[in-house]
Amino acid sequence: MLVEIKGRRALFACLVADVSEEEPFRASFPDRAPIAIFKADGAFFALDDTCSHGQASLCEGFVEKGTVECPYHAALFDLRTGAALTMPATEPVTAYAVEIDDGKLYVVVGPT
């Protein structure tokens, strides 16, 4: 469900408590592809969950030093920008801004 958070359209993804440094969260939506929610160094990040190189869930990947490694072919993606940092991935995944409100985590999908 779309809501307005700080003047931007956002989707409720999960509770803040649902995400830990050890366990990303895969947010599913009825009308769009899933989004992976990560917590790293105390900050939250959101990326399209599907690797741009293949049909792998980035939530199942290894998170370290501001990156997530695809579990299938070991391509690295930047958690902040979604940039593909290593082969075999050459295309980025979409990165989303995250907003926290009253213990709930929202993924920003556009302006209002």
The structure tokens 């969260």 sit at 25
Give the pLDDT confidence score for residue 1 in this predicted structure.
Answer: 74
Strands lying side by side in the sheet with 62-64? 62-64, 67-69, 76-78
What is the arithmetic mean of pLDDT over 90-98? 96
Which three-class secondary structure state does DSSP give residue 68? strand
CATH top-level class of 17-97? mainly beta
Q: Which pLDDT value is given to residue 82? A: 97
pLDDT for the residue 110: 80
Instruction: Single out the residue of 69, 64, 34, 63 nearest to residue 49, CA to CA.
Output: 34
